[in-house]
């Protein structure tokens, strides 16, 4: 038996049909081309009979994709198969994937037929699809709940009819790994012509077992896995392509199988699908979540600094990420602080690590995560407190009308003196920001503005988070007020105080360098 496992990606069919809004043809083509770069063997890109739009997108993708085989889905009905074949006819190579339910629950309650009728339809659909291509896949929908005798009969009949791939889907995510693996093993033991087809698996994640079930199937002889990027799909989703690919890459010696996936394209593909599908990735998602290569525990960080494999079984670079990230939080140890200072170019004699670490812990307890610019400030400023802020907000008043005219009057305390300025803008927040930047003489580029509610109901506070770019650094500011304009102003003021502090630190750092060059230190 071959040790290669084929990857059948159904992001653009099973994944897309579960989205709140359909993807445009252009977006589908973008994803298809990235899947091709990722190295998927087969991509199922739509259900052509379902709509003219789906037919067009399948045809467009089929025309453009060259390195992966393009596939379209069809029920075990001639008109479906004809539509799939027509949409795929422009492809260099293509597959028709036809299916029908085989479980007693589906046969009796959904199809309202006998099993013998279903068996006849399966054979007829495969034979009809073979008129268009010699690459035909047949799926026994809800195979996980199909009586094993009926499943064996269906698989044997479909192969005899000309199916070259047989899919055994756990359509509702019902089975558990040893049960599902046992189904695959039974098919290999009881179906006499099973060597004439590749056995495929398509597992859903209703019980969180789609990846585990797929691996169990491979261990019992399956050689194609149907999956999606980020695991998107019906209900709880599908088997996650990135998890399957990295399991087989990381545990290759144990499993004895491999895929042709270019793992360094995983992160890029995951982000593209997430963005185009408006489907955020949970932070703790395996492989591609934002926390997947992030370390916060001091013990873990210490291990990572000594050797990457202490707490990482794969490298971020292996999926196309440049490096791992050590969060500086109250759980971080001295070694992490020293490491960050080293990376920023400071030498041990430039700061007192014990003093710096104690100041760091105080700040981390207040704000959660500490950033590089905070660390520099702690190392070179006498104190880190609200009293050290150069700019404080006294008041913020704004006016706007339905025509888009807006102005804001901001009162600030700058260096102990009060200043007031009124400015206009294309909205009250924009006006407030013009006034603040004018008064403080700090021109910053706001690269991100996020407004959220802290709390619930009418008593919720408005929380504004901004990221501003200044002299090659990003600064994060946050404001929390009952008034959104005041919260927005406070977020910018926080950023400006950080910038002022960063400039002071840079001056002190330069003075130190000058003294070192003169040999006075």
Do 411 and 358 fall within a single domain? no
% pLDDT > 70, the chain: 85
Query: What's the domain range around 405?
Result: 389-508
| Higher-confidence position of 324 and 335 | 335
- Tell me the per-residue pLDDT of 156-198, one tens digit each, with 9 for 90 and over: 999 999 999 999 999 999 999 999 999 999 999 999 999 999 9
Residue finishing a domain among 276, 309, 329: 276
What pLDDT does residue 327 have? Answer: 66
What pLDDT does residue 267 have? Answer: 86
- Tell me the per-residue pLDDT of 287-311, one tens digit each, with 9 for 90 and over: 888 776 665 556 565 565 566 566 5
Q: Which residue has the tokens 């756990």?
A: 170
- Tell me the per-residue pLDDT of 464-494, one tens digit each, with 9 for 90 and over: 888 888 887 778 787 877 788 998 999 999 8
| Integer Cα distance of 51 and 397 in angstroms | 53
| Integer Cα distance of 288 and 253 in angstroms | 23
Do 16 and 40 fall within a single domain? yes
Residue finishing a domain among 380, 398, 433: 380
Coil/strand/helix, residue 371: coil
| Mean pLDDT across 438-466 | 76
What pLDDT does residue 456 have? Answer: 46
The number of domains in the chain is 3
CB 140 within 8 A of CB 168: yes
- What lies within 8 Å, CB to CB, of 130 at 6+ separation is 136, 161, 162
281 in a structural domain: no
CATH number at residue 464: 3.30.160.270
Q: Residue 434 — pLDDT band, cuts 50, 70, 90?
A: very high
What pLDDT does residue 135 have? Answer: 98
Q: Number of helices (H) and strands (E), helices first, in the chain? A: 17, 16
Do 32 and 166 fall within a single domain? yes
Q: Are strands 461-470 and 473-481 parallel, antiparallel or unpaired?
A: antiparallel
Q: Write out the two tokens for 432.
A: 């407030």
Do 238 and 329 fall within a single domain? no
Half-sphere exposure of 187 (CA within 13 A, CB side): 35
- Tell me the per-residue pLDDT of 1-46, one tens digit each, with 9 for 90 and over: 789 999 999 999 999 988 866 788 888 999 999 999 999 999 999 9
The beta strands (E) that lie in 455-513 are given as 461-470, 473-481
CB 211 within 8 A of CB 240: yes
Which range of 107-111, 135-139, 408-412, 506-510 scores highest in mean pLDDT? It is 135-139
The beta strands (E) that lie in 153-308 are given as 165-170, 198-203, 224-227, 294-295
517 in a structural domain: no
Do 416 and 478 fall within a single domain? yes
| Integer Cα distance of 99 and 87 in angstroms | 18
- Is the pLDDT confidence value at 88 over 60? yes
What pLDDT does residue 362 have? Answer: 80
- Is the pLDDT confidence value at 67 over 50? yes
CB 77 within 8 A of CB 83: no
% pLDDT > 90, the chain: 56
| Mean pLDDT across 316-329 | 68
| Integer Cα distance of 301 and 453 in angstroms | 33
Listed residue (405, 400, 403, 348) closest to 379, CA to CA: 348
| Mean pLDDT across 413-434 | 92
What pLDDT does residue 54 have? Answer: 92
What pLDDT does residue 250 have? Answer: 94
Do 342 and 472 fall within a single domain? no
| Mean pLDDT across 221-245 | 97
Look at 282-286, 296-300, 326-330 and tell me which has the smallest mean pLDDT: 296-300
What pLDDT does residue 386 have? Answer: 39
Do 354 and 441 fall within a single domain? no
Listed residue (70, 144, 142) closest to 110, CA to CA: 142
Alpha carbon of 388 to those of 97, 394, 471: distances in Å?
67, 16, 22
Do 248 and 300 fall within a single domain? no
- What lies within 8 Å, CB to CB, of 145 at 6+ separation is 103, 104, 105, 172, 174
Do 249 and 152 fall within a single domain? yes
- What lies within 8 Å, CB to CB, of 348 at 6+ separation is 338
What pLDDT does residue 521 have? Answer: 43
Q: Residue 453 — pLDDT band, cuts 50, 70, 90?
A: low
Q: Which helix H or strand E contains 358, and what residues bound it?
A: helix 353-367
What pLDDT does residue 455 have? Answer: 46
Query: Is pTM, for the whole model, over 0.75?
Result: no
Mean pLDDT of all residues in the chain?
87
Alpha carbon of 336 to those of 114, 142, 326, 350, 495: distances in Å?
67, 51, 8, 16, 25
Do 94 and 201 fall within a single domain? yes
């Amino acid at each position: 038996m071959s040790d290669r496992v084929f990857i059948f990606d159904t992001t653009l069919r099973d994944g897309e049909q579960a989205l709140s809004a359909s993807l445009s043809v252009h977006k589908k083509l973008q994803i298809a081309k990235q899947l091709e770069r990722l190295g998927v063997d087969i991509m199922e890109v739509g259900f052509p009979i379902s709509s003219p739009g789906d037919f067009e997108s399948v045809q467009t993708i089929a025309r453009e994709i060259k390195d992966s085989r393009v596939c379209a889905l069809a029920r075990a009905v001639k008109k479906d198969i004809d539509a799939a074949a027509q949409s795929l006819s422009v492809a260099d190579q293509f597959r028709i994937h036809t299916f029908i339910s085989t479980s007693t629950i589906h046969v009796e309650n959904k199809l309202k037929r006998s099993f013998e009728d279903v068996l006849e339809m399966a054979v007829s659909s495969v034979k009809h699809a073979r008129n268009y291509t010699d690459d035909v896949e047949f799926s026994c929908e809800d195979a996980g709940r199909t009586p094993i005798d009926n499943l064996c009969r269906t698989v044997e009949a479909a192969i005899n009819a000309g199916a070259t791939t047989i899919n055994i889907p756990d359509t509702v995510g019902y089975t558990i790994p040893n049960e599902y693996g046992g189904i695959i093993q039974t098919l290999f033991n009881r179906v006499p012509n099973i060597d004439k087809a590749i056995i495929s698996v398509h597992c859903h994640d209703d019980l969180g077992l789609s990846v585990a079930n797929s691996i169990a199937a491979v261990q019992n002889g399956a050689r194609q896995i149907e999956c999606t990027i980020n695991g998107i799909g019906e209900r709880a989703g599908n088997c996650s392509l990135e998890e399957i690919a990295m399991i087989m890459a990381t545990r290759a010696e144990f499993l004895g199988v491999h895929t042709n996936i270019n793992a360094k394209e995983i992160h890029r593909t995951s982000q593209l699908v997430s963005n185009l599908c408006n489907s955020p990735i949970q932070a703790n998602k395996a492989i591609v979540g934002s926390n997947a290569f992030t370390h916060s525990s001091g013990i873990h960080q210490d291990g990572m600094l000594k050797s990457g494999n202490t707490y990482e079984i794969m490298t971020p670079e292996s999926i196309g990420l440049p490096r791992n990230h050590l969060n500086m939080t109250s759980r971080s140890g001295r070694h992490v602080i020293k490491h960050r200072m080293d990376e920023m170019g400071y030498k041990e004699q430039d700061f007192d690590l014990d003093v710096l670490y104690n100041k760091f812990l105080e700040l981390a307890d207040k704000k959660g995560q500490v950033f590089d610019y905070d660390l520099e400030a702690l190392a070179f400023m006498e104190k880190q407190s609200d009293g050290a802020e150069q700019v404080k907000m006294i008041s913020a008043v704004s006016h706007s009308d339905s025509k888009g005219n807006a102005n804001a009057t901001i009162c600030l305390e700058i260096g102990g003196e009060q200043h007031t300025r009124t400015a206009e803008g294309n909205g009250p927040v924009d006006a407030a920001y013009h006034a603040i930047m004018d008064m403080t003489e700090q021109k910053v580029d706001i690269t991100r503005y996020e407004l959220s509610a802290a709390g619930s109901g009418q008593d919720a506070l408005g929380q504004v988070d901004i990221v501003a770019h200044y002299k090659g650094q990003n600064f994060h500011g946050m404001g929390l007020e009952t008034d959104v304009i005041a919260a927005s102003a406070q977020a910018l003021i926080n950023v400006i105080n950080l910038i002022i502090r960063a400039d002071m630190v840079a001056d002190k750092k330069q003075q130190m360098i000058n003294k070192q060059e003169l040999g006075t230190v």
